[in-house]
Every structure is written in structure tokens, then in C-alpha cells.
A and B are shown apart, each in its own frame.
Chain A
Amino acid sequence: MSASSAFNDEKGGSSSVGEPEYGHDPASGGIFSSDYKRHDDLKEMLDSNKDSLKLEAMKRIVAMVARGKNASDLFPAVVKNVACKNIEVKKLVYVYLVRYAEEQQDLALLSISTFQRGLKDPNQLIRASALRVLSSIRVTIIVPIMMLAIKEAASDMSPYVRKTAAHAIPKLYSLDPEQKDQLIEVIEKLLADKTTLVAGSVVMAFEEVCPERIDLIHKNYRKLCNLLIDVEEWGQVVIINMLTRYARTQFLNPNINESLLEEGGEKTFYGSEEDEDEDDEDKDKKAEVATMAKRKPYVMDPDHRLLLRNTKPLLQSRNAAVVMAVAQLYFHLAPKAEVGVIAKALVRLLRSHSEVQYVVLQNVATMTIKRRGMFEPYLKSFYIRSTDPTQIKVLKLEVLTNLANETNISTILREFQTYIKSMDKDFVAATIQAIGRCATNIGEVRDTCLNGLVQLLSNRDELVVAESVVVIKKLLQMQPEKHSDIIKHMAKLIDNIQVPMARASILWLIGEYCEHVPKISPDVLRKMAKSFTNEEDIVKLQIINLAAKLYLTNSKQTKLLTQYVLNLAKYDQNYDIRDRARFIRQLIVPTEKSGALSKYAKKLFLALKPAPVLESPFKDRDHFQLGSLSHLLNAKAGGYQELPDWPEAAPDPSVRNVEVKESVPEWTKCSSREKRKEKKVEKPFYSDSEGESGPTESADSESDSANGSESVSGSEVSGSGSESEESEEGSESEEEEEEEDEEKDKKKKKKELKKKPVQESESEQSSEEEEEERKHERKSKPRKSDSETESGDEEESESESSQSESDESESEAEVKKKKKAAQSKPPAKPVKTDGKKEKKEMSLLDLDDFEPAPSPQVTPVNSFLSSSLVTDLEGLSLSDSVLSPATIAPSSALKSYELLHRITGEGLSVEYCFSRQPFSPDANMVAVQIQFTNNATSDTKNLHMEDVKLQSGMRVKEFPEIELLPAGETTTAVMGIDFCDSTQAANFQLCTHTRKFFVSIQPPVGELMRPIFLTENEFKKEQGQLMGMNEITERLTLDVKCRNEHTIVQRVTTAANLSRVPCGSDKECSPPVPPPPPDHPVHRFAGRTVTSSSLVLVTVATKEEGAAQLTVNCEKMVIGTMLVKDILQALTQ
């Protein structure tokens, strides 16, 4: 079949694609040389230098690959084009390469260098695609290269590249499982990633590589819960499934007390619970508590609650897989009272494609066994239509049967009656079985069912009759004594029923229960004896059985009849019947020769046969995680992770606590969507569950409407009047709330100051001793912030403080680590480790106890630097050696940019400049000094910022609110922005008590770095490491005015926040390099990017007559390129 199919296939394919000359499969063609010829012109096309020809050839080749034909002999010709400039050719080459690389490993290696180059490309999409293809080539020899590439990509600044890295992890793992340990490290790193783009993919990698390392999840648990709603739908499925397993290991069974109480009494439980409002959590909790009063009270872990709360909205997803994932999560994790919410969503899925219905119904069938009440209101949704495919019908039937109870059985049976008339006989048979099960489960309807089934015995369809008889037989076996009249009825039926199977079943029944129908049975045997010769074989066998049984119980009446039947059987054509007759005669008729067995004949024939049990095939399937493949097949599939049992005692919840502070992505929220979701996450989601107050809601709506008008450029709010009113209202109420929270916080702070210092970032002028003390505290006891995490409200109000707190603790830790490292490690280090080390070094600069003074600094821009330097120096008490690079920073006037013009700002003008000071709350942020001038006649109040919109990965530390700016006054404030080493603008709203202005801050590339101190030697060494791709060189002619050393240095340092490398200071150390001639000096500048601490090295080598060469070495190629442009401009203008 497959051969012919391949042939047809080819024909069809070739005619449509239009390449009849390639229409033969090499295997069927057989002649290899012709094969060569056939591909010759393709090779020619690939070798040509016309892209269109190459493209045409690649298209044909891909068409061959698609049809499953072997195109591997073209590999050398194709692989040559891997570096082709044309994107489509390149893509198709990639497609080909991934398909055949495994078979042609040696040749595939030729392409590797192209991808390695691609990995360094400034365009993130090219980096990502290079990694994708590189990791898809299943060639074992490049495992180390892949490993390196993955590690590098995992710390790429583009989240898209990091996502690709996450995808690459399972690829590498399947290629070489020995890399597991290293890969786990990468996974751990990526799990800590805060972007939604990465989350789904890394959890996927986690599931494939190390699903047993549940400990890696702890510190990311809350982050994952919070990000969940923003992750793309496929990632959501994977994360939810993983979190289900996680929760099973970490939390207590929410139904633990109930399951003890209920102990098999589920039916009553559900009956009574039906009326209760399922959504009303509070009420249910109370009820729960009441029932458990005697036992150990169960309190749900707040993290458990968080998971349930954050997954619930996903029931509204359009993706059936997501809905199913949430449904199984609720089924496995939620308290019984809350599971009900999933029913509606699952029923909705029944509207989808039949494959979806099939899977959903399987799961619903399992659920209905355990939790029948949940689906009872939706009974009618499972009614069967004649147009449903049979497999769907059978599953619906299963669900209906499971749902049947005393109250609804009559409607269900009425439905079943229609089904029995269906044309689909398989379905009818299933219906009869279903009726049988209903009859066994519900005592009241047993008789009705039996009667109905008995009527079916007259059905013409053999299958129906057989099925009915079988079911009746089973039903009668349960309580035969009650149903002698049915047996009598069936005995009468035997005159009419022609279906042999049914006749046989009836005879078996009469024989089995001949004691209940003592008068009829001999008569039936008499009739049967008469028609014996005309019966079918199975009927004959049953006649013999009946005769034997009657002989044993009632030999007086039936002895002769039995003899007669046995004699007839003795000469039957069928050997089975002859054998049976001989055997039975020996067994039951006592002769002198008969063996020991005849004594036991009665026991043998009339032994009590156990009644067959009618139960659902879906019983006990729920030990498989619902929604999984294993559940569907009712067999463990490869790679299935068992759903663990609930732990007896909850493991320490603090494993999630401690680090979660750090990973709550407080400032990373950037997009409008994320912003929105952040609100969702941080505020209690369901007002009913948490008692959310009005103001928060209106605040939220405000943010939404603000989002709406966000992209209106400039500063005027063009939305309708009502909208802006609304937003003002919103912002006010939010402020109020914040104030309240602050107050609350302060009170709390007083209370807890000794035990657990919680600090508002505004009032963070703590002394060093306090700092020390705090450190102690933290070390001595693990932070157990029960009160902090128990309610969402509090968490929210404290999030700000906790963020800064954790930042501090982080940097503290770094300081300490650094100190250790500094002691143990020699100062010179290779580049790789250097990156990290340097970062730590930088964090030394920003001391915890130095904060930008929150009180409005009433200093004009020009004088700011000096004043801030003073504060800077006041705050610093470190050794000068470390500090020196910072102080080398240029002291030239800072360029200020306009943020808000006086006119658009209605009197308020705002300017900002990059102060080039380390931003102490977060070393990775660029400090931006903002100067507000109130030119209006009235006071401006409550200046603050809101609704920050950022590219992903970027973060902002807002400036403290300025309560009052009197008319004519000027004030400054400092905010921090982590631009993530990109020049993307940070957009936000500047709000006063009356107005909002949309503003954005875009950094020149030179501000994305901070100066570092390097000696000339170190500089050269580092420069040597950053050659090739990372080096950009430009020739230029210096501006006439700027040919002396001083102006060059000044212009460069103005353009970029770099520090000059003192030249000539260490000439002795570098004898091989002769010092440049004094009239053509070389100027060197060094810095690091703020976020990723990548080195930025700038060299300006002057030559005769103003000619110069500018060299920039930087790992970040984008930054390098932009920096070259900026410096070039600065030097030539």
C-alpha cells in the first residue's frame, strides 16, 4: 500500500509543482547514475550566482523533502548556500540542513561557522534563528559548541533569544544526555527570567530535562503564578501542568478533613452541596472550618490560593488545551467546593471540533465518577445527536450514565429510549449496557429497566437482542429470587425469539434458576427437545446444559427428557455437541462405572456464580493526571510524571518566601498589557474572595483608559472628557489608598522594627549600624514573613519597600561575596569570569546607606553635579582607590534635555539630564535627574509619575512624589531607569494634581555606561579579547577646534560616560609596545554598560593633520555601533 501511495503521491506532487523530471524515487528508479544526472541541473542552479535560480532550486528540493523523497545527495551543493544573502534561500537551506545534517555529519560541519557568526549578529532575530538551526542540527560532534551557544544566549539581552535558548535545551539534552548537569544550570538561570516570553519555554525545557528537580521551582513559584496570564497559550499549558505537580508536593490536601468525614459517602455530600453557591469562597471556608472544628484545622497555604486564583481566569481562554489544563489543576488541587467552576468551561469545549470533544469527554467521564454534582446542571449538554460520530456518542453515554441518580434517572431513561432506536447499532449496544448500569446503580428503576430490556428482546437486530439478553442476565444474577416472573416471561419469549444468541441466553437463565421456576422449566425442556435438531449449535449446547441442570434438581420429571436430548446430541453432526453430551452423561447419570466426579455434579453445575459487576471503564482513572495522554489511554505513556500524593505535612513554605521578594518583577512590568496584568496580579484578583475595595477598581480602570490614550503623541490628552475625568478620579483614589497604606506601613514598622525591619524607601536614611543589625537579623533567622504574604493587600502595599529591601540585601550579599572573592582571587582574570566580577565591583560603589535625598533638592541643573558630589562624598566612606574611577568622571556641563515644554505643560516645564551618578537603590539603573520648574501662577501639587511603559526587561525606579511645587519655584528629583543596555525610550505619565502628561526619556547611547578605571595595560589586554566582530573602527578628520588633547577628551567624555585611561603611566610594564610619538597621542577611554556590565573600550588615535582613527571595542555590537556614530559626531562637528 505504501509503495503505491508513494507512487501516486509523486505523480500528484510533481504535476502540481511542475518538475516531472524528478518524479522518480531513487529506490524505485534503481539506476544510480541517472539519479546523478537528474540532480545535476539542480546542482547547477545552486551553484549559479543568481538568487532566483538558487531559490527555484531550493523550492524544488524542499518540495521533494516534503514528499518524503530522498534528496540527501544534494547536500554538498546545498550546504554551500548556507551563507546566502537572500533570506528565503537561507531559510530553505536551513530547512534542508536540519532535515539531512544527521545523515551527513561531516559536511554539515561546514555550515557551523556561519551559525556561529550569526550568533554574534546585532539583530536579535538573526541571533535567535542561528541558535535555532545550530541546535537543531543533530550532530554529536558540535555538542560543546551548542552548549556554549546556549549558555551565551541564555544571558542575551533579548528575551526572544533567551526563549530560543530555552528551546535549544531539550534539543541538546536529547542529543547528549550527559550534558544534563550543565543544562540544569542554564535552566535554573532561565527560570529566574522575568519575561513572559521565556517562561513557557523554559518550563518546557525543565519538564523534558529535569522534571524531578522540583526544588528549582521554589523560588520561581510565585513569579510563575503571577506571570502566567501573560504567557502565550502553549506555555500556559505546560506551566499549569507543572505547577499542578509542584503543588501536590508542597501543599496539604484541601479536602483532607472531608475525605476523612465522607469515607465513601460522596453521594450524600454532593446532594447536599448542590444548593450552595460554589463561588462563594468565604462562605465555604467557614463551612469547611465548621466541619473540621474537631480535627486539626486546615488553613490553605496562601501560595496554594495564589495558584488557584491566578489560573481561574484562564478558564476563559479560547485555547481548549489551556482550559483543560486549568480544569485538571482545579480537579486535583482545589477544595471540593470550588471545583465546580470548571464545569461550565468544560461544557463549553463540547462545542469545539470532534477531536476536542473526544478528549474532553474522556476527562469529564473520569471527573463525573468522583464529582458527579459538578456536571449535573449540564446534563442536557450531554444529550446525543444523531449526527455525532459514534465514539463521541459512546462517551456522552458514559457521562450520562455516570450522572444518573434518583432524581434525573427518568429523564435519562427517556433519552435512552430514543437512542435505542438509532441506526447506529454499536451505539445501541452501548446504550443497552448503559441502561443495565443505571439499573444496577439505582434500585428504584431496576424493574423499569428490566421491563424495557425485556421488550428489546423482540428486536430484530441480533446485536440488540444479544446485548439485552446479556444485560438482563447480569441484572437477574444480582437478585434472581425477585425476578422469577421475568424468567417466566423470558421462557414464554422463547417461542418467538429466533436469534440464537438470545435463545441460548434464555435457556441458560432457566437452567441456572430452575429452582425459581420449577413448573415451567421442564416444559421448556420438553419444547426444546422437540425442536432440538433444528436449533443452532449454541442453542443446542444450552439445551444440554438445561437438561443436565434439571436432571440434577428435578430428575423425577425430566429424566426421560434428558436421556432423549442426550441421545439426540450423541448423534449430532457437531463434534462439540457430541463431546458435551458424552461428558455430561458420564457426569450426571450415575452408573457403576462413573468416577468420583459424579458425586460433585450438582456442585459443579449449580455452583453460585458471582454476579458480574457493571462499572464504568473510567473508574479509578483519576490516578493519572487528568488531561494527560496517559489518562486518555489509561496506560502510562513514556515520560509521564506521576502525580504525587499529597504530603502528610506541608514542607516548609519559606523556601518560596525568601527569594520571592527578589524575583517579584516589580519594575520589569513594561508593556501596557503587562502593566494591566500586573495590577491584576498584585491586587487581589477577585473582589469576592479578598474583599477588594472600590478605589482599587476604579484605579485599575483608570490605568486601562490611560493605556487607551497612551499612544496619543505629545502631551495633550485627547480622549473624551469623561475619560479624563474618570482617570483623575482614579488617580486620586489611588493616591489616597497609597497614603493609607503608607500609614499602615509606618505603624507596622514601628511595631516590627526590632523583629523584622520593613522599610519604606522614602525614609531610608538608616545609619550603618542599623544596617549591620539588620544584616544580622536576616542571617540569624530565616525571614518568616507570614503576615507579609498572607494577604494580597499587605503584600501589595509593601511591595515597594520589599523591593528596595531585597535590592539592598542583594547588593549586600554581593559586597560580601566580592570581598571574599577579592581576597582569594588574583586580580588578573580572564574575560569570562571578569564580567561577573566586575559587576560586583561596581556594586561596591553604591552603598546601601546612600540614597538620593528624597527631599526636594532645590538646585538648578548646573549646580547639581557639585552638590550631588558633595552628598556623594559625604555618604562614601570607602577607600579612595576603588572610588577613583568614579571621580574621574567628566565634570563638564551636563547636557539637559527637555521632557515637558512650558507651554504644553501649562506652566510646568521639566528638563532632565543624565547625572552620571551611580544610582544607589539599584546599581543597574541609570540615574536621571529631573528638574521641575513651575512657571505658572498657581502651585502644582502631587507631582509624581505613573503608568510606566517600557520595553521588556527595562525597569524604572520612580522619583519620590513631590508634594508641592510653589509657583515660580524649581525643584529636582532623581529617578533610576534600567534601560537594559538599549536606547529604547521609557514612556510614562507625569502627573500633577490636575493633569497628566505623556513623556518619554530616551537615553543617548553614551549614557548607558559608567566609567571604570583601567590601566593602559589592562586596557590593551581587554582590547585584545574584544577583537574581530566586537571591534569597530572608523577613520575621521578631527574638527579644527578639537585637535588638542584636552578638547578630544572633553568631547568624548561628554558624548559618553567613560573615563579616560591614563596614558603612559605604566609604560614600564608594557615594553613591547613603543609609546606613540608625542605629537600623535592615543587617547583611551573605558567604561562598562550599566545593565550587563559589558566592557566598552574607546580608542582615539590621532594622526597628522587632524586625521584620526576611532576604535570601539564592545561585546554589545549595537551599543558599539551607536557609540561610534555618537563619538564621531562629537569629534567632527
Chain B
Amino acid sequence: MIHSLFLVNASGDIFLEKHWKSVVSRSVCDYFFEAQERATEPENVPPVIPTPHHYLISVLRHRIFFVAVIQSEVPPLFVIEFLHRVVDTFQDYFGVCTEAAIKDNVVVVYELLEEMLDNGFPLATESNILKELIKPPTILRTMVNTITGSTNVGEQLPTGQLSVVPWRRTGVKYTNNEAYFDVVEEIDAIIDKSGSTITAEIQGVIDACVKLTGMPDLTLSFMNPRLLDDVSFHPCVRFKRWEAERILSFIPPDGNFRLLSYHVSSQNLVAIPVYVKHNITFREGSSQGRFDLTLGPKQTMGKAVEAVLVSSQLPRGVLNANLNASQGTYTFDPVTKMLSWDVGKINPQKLPSLKGTMSLQAGASKPDENPTINIQLKIQQMAISGLKVNRLDMYGEKYKPFKGIKYMTKAGKFQVRT
């Protein structure tokens, strides 16, 4: 399975290596660098690169390449999924997963990697288990450690790995018992030039933050479970119960975790919360182009559309943009040609607009493509699909937990073609 792991930063330096079997020379990464040079963009580096003796499987997260070296047949997704899990774990431990964070915590990183793989085969990947084995560094603990010389490694050996609920840490205790659930839905849509929807779908997740003492057994039921078309669960969810009753029944892991991700059936019409009026033109022969954009709320069910951010990759020929935003601020990066406009909240009475001219390279011919507009937005307290949690019950423990559910709608990959 996974032989070695190299971490490569944006400038092409290997700043960490770990071997689970015999040592593989880091020169194997030269093949990776070659591929990196061939690819114009970092995200175009092929995830799987064959070399004469090894195969390199890499993922790119936070501008760091995680390059796994493998020697023989293995499902590529297996490695990719594992590498992502490693990144998630780092993020969980250090808050961010940057080169600096990894270098600062190189010992913890090494200990984690040692626990996560044995002979290249995943051993412990549940964050609850890992946290029992290796305590995440906190500022306080780092200070205490430097003073007292104590360690990050758990004092007593964890039994969680052996417990009947392998994803939950044992002996959890809280003074305030709380369980919060965030229902977050994202709209993926492509809107065409004329404003009609080409494709739109809703993908949702329920993220949970559960801090409950003991071994609580929770059930979560929905008012309208039929909306959910395709779901994937955290391993704690009892599949059978869902199949039979459409109720989520589970013993939660401790802390933050993603309980469920779902897809709303495509039969339901997706409400598009905003519309865009645009007029972006380039005239032949002139070195000026017009840029005119107006946003407006569409189907928002009375809720305010917030945190709107519009971005667009303008054609290469554009030298500069001289625009006027009625609201918010805009920036244009003349190198990457990226225009972004931080709109903020949309006021339905006074629609935000961005108008002005773009100056083109002199003599360059009219760009034959129009830029696409990507929109990000947030709508609080609403799940656009209409999904509603009915109730949350807890069994197995005697205290009364504090429960909370929050809904939010976001734009996922929301594109408007012009």
C-alpha cells in the first residue's frame, strides 16, 4: 500500500518525508516535479503519475502537495481518500494545515502519521481515537509542556480503539451538555446568458457539534425526509433504521463531525435566490469594453441575501477595469485578470450594481469569449430545499442536553454565463 509520503510546498521543496516501509529516495519526486512543470496550473497536475518503479499519487490541499509513493496495485481512491483524511486530521489538530504549522508541530505530525498507517495500511483514522492517542497541541499545553517537560502523548493507553463504538472516545465528561446541528445547503447552478437555469441542484450537509457526557444515543427525525434523494452517512448512523423509518439514529462521536451529506432529488425545482443582469461587451477595433452588472434577489422566501461575493475571470486582453460599485468594494488584479466584488447584503430596494469600462490592450482584437460570473452568497435561517428537522431525542443518558439547530443556505458552484 502506501510506501512513503512526501510533503511538497508551493515552491517545490520537500519539507517532510515519512516512510512506512523501506526508505524510498526523495529523488522519486523528480517525476512529480516534471509533471508539475508540464501542468500550467497546480491543480492540473495529474493525481496519479507513473514512474519506472513507483507510482505517485498526490493531492493538493492548502497549496501543499501530499505525494504518496506506492509500489504496486492499489485503488487510487483509497490513497487519495486517505491523504485527504490526513489533511483533515492536521487541520483538526493545528487549526490550519500550512507548511508553517506542520513544521512547528513536526513531532506531532510524525506521531500522527505513525498511528494512522501501519505498513502502509490505515490503522487509526478516526479523529476521536487519534486524539486519545496523541493530544492535540494547544497554547496552554505547549506552555505547560515546555515548563514541566510533560508530553503530548496520552497518559494512559486508550481503549477507544477496542471499544464497541470505535468512533467515540470513552469517558467523555462535560458540565454543559450541548448538541448543535448545522443544516447547510449549497446550490450548484449554471445559469445561461438569458437568465434561464441550465442545471441546478442542492447539496446539503448536516454538521454536528456534539458535546455530551457519556454514551448518548441520539435520534434525529425530519419533517420531510422524502426530500433527501441520495445520502451518505458518518459511520455512526444506523443504516437499517434510516432505510426503514427515515430516522437518523446514532451514537455520536465526540466533538465536531459531519453527520450526513445529502442531495435533494432533482425532481424538485430549485429556487434560485438571486438574478444577475449583465451587459459585458467588447467592441471590435475599440480598446474599450463595457461592463455592467446588477444583482437582485429572486426567490429568497423573505430572507436577506448576505455575504454576496461576485468574482469573474476577465479575458486576457483586459488591461484594467475602471468601474463604479454602488455598494461594496471591487478589486481587479491585472496579473491574474480576476475581478472580484464584495457586495455584502443585497438591499431589495436599492439593487447593487457595478458599472464602468474596461480598457483593452491596444491593437488586440476583440476577445471572443465572455467571462463567466461566479457568485457566493449566504442566506441565514433557511434551508432552500425546505428541509426541516422535526425533533432530536436522546436516549441512554439521564441529563437534559441543550439542543440547537441552525439552517443556512449558501451558493456552491454558482455560475452565470454571459
Contact = CB atoms under 8 A, between A and B. Distances in A.
A125 B154 CA distance: 13
A421 B370 contact: yes
Contacts of B233: 316-318
Contacts of B157: 123, 125-126
A62 B106 contact: yes
Interface in A387-429: 387, 389-391, 415, 418, 421-423
Interface stretch (A356-364, A968-976, A1097-1105): A356-364
A167 B16 contact: no
Given A9-B13, A66-B18, A679 B397 contact: no
A318 B258 contact: yes
A384 to B, nearest CB: 9
A380 B191 CA distance: 12
Contact of B374 (A347, A387, A635): A387
Interface in B263-311: 263
Interface in A137-173: 138, 158-160, 164, 167-168, 170-171
B226 interface: no
A201 B121 contact: yes
Contact of A629 (B16, B76, B155): B76
Q: How large is the interface on A (under 10, 10 to 19, 20 to 34, 35 or more residues)?
A: 35 or more
B395 A633 contact: no
A1052 B205 CA distance: 61
B104 interface: yes
Nearest to B1: A204
Contact of A2 (B26, B60, B397): B26
Interface string B1-37: 1000000000111111111011100110110010000
Nearest to A705: B395
B48 A704 contact: no
Interface residues of B, number: 120
Contact of A383 (B162, B199, B374): B199
A133 to B, nearest CB: 10
A92 interface: yes
B18 A628 contact: no
Contacts, number: 314
Contact of B398 (A9, A316, A353, A718): A718
A232 B126 CA distance: 10
A686 B243 CA distance: 9
B72 A637 contact: yes
B149 A55 contact: yes
Contact of B110 (A95, A170, A677): A95
A701 B77 CA distance: 35
A380 B44 contact: no
A412 B278 CA distance: 25
B103 interface: yes
A516 interface: no
Given A9-B13, A66-B17, A629-B74, A671 B164 contact: yes
A67 B15 contact: yes
A16 B234 contact: no
A862 interface: no
Given A321-B78, A385-B413, A671 B106 contact: no
Interface stretch (A528-536, A542-550, A707-715, A770-778): A707-715
Contacts of A92: 107, 110-111
Interface SS, B side: mixed
Interface string B134-177: 00000000000000110111110111011011100000000000
A135 B120 CA distance: 13
Given A132-B118, A167-B121, A389-B43, A16 B80 contact: no
Given A95-B114, A423-B315, A17 B161 contact: no
B76 A359 contact: yes
Contacts of A415: 198
A91 B27 CA distance: 28
B363 interface: no
A88 interface: yes
Interface stretch (B213-221, B353-361, B379-387): B213-221
A718 B158 CA distance: 30
A177 B76 CA distance: 26
Nearest to A8: B13
A697 interface: yes
Nearest to B25: A68
A323 B232 CA distance: 10
Interface in B84-115: 84, 99-100, 103-104, 106-107, 109-111, 114
Contacts of B222: none
A351 B107 contact: no
B341 interface: no
7 contacts: A2-B27, A197-B162, A358-B47, A381-B199, A421-B368, A712-B396, A949-B164
Interface of B: 1, 11-19, 21-23, 26-27, 29-30, 33, 40-41, 43-44, 46-48, 50, 55, 58-61, 70-78, 80-82, 84, 99-100, 103-104, 106-107, 109-111, 114, 118-119, 121-123, 125, 148-149, 151-155, 157-159, 161-162, 164-166, 190, 192, 198-199, 201, 203, 214-215, 217, 219, 229-235, 238-241, 243-245, 249, 251, 258, 261, 263, 313, 315-316, 365, 368-370, 372, 374, 395-398, 413, 415, 417
Q: Give the 8 A-B CB pairs with smallest separation, nearest first.
A: A52-B149, A671-B164, A639-B72, A708-B395, A380-B199, A88-B151, A708-B217, A88-B153
